[in-house]
Amino acid sequence: MKILDKYVAKNFLIGYVIAFSVLIGLRVIIDLFVNLDEFTE
C-alpha cells in the first residue's frame, strides 16, 4: 500500500466510525425519550 492510500483509508475509517457513533448515540437518546415513562416506573 502506498502512503497516500493509507492516509485516505485512515481518514475514511475515522469519519465512518465517528458517523456510526453519532447515529448510535442518537438512537439511544431517542429510545430513552420515547420510553421514558417505562424507565421511571
Evaluate if residue 1 carries a pLDDT over 90.
no
C-alpha cell at 18: 465517528
Number of domains in the chain: 1
The tens digit of pLDDT for each residue in 10-40 reads: 999 999 999 999 999 999 999 999 998 887 8
Structural domain span for residue 19: 3-40
Predicted local confidence at residue 14, as pLDDT: 98
SS3 track for 1-41: CCHHHHHHHHHHHHHHHHHHHHHHHHHHHHHHHHCHHHHHC
b (16+ CB within 10 A) / e for 26-40: eeeeeeeeeeeeeee
Predicted local confidence at residue 27, as pLDDT: 98
Cα radius of gyration (the chain): 18
C-beta separation of 32 from 39 below 8 A: yes
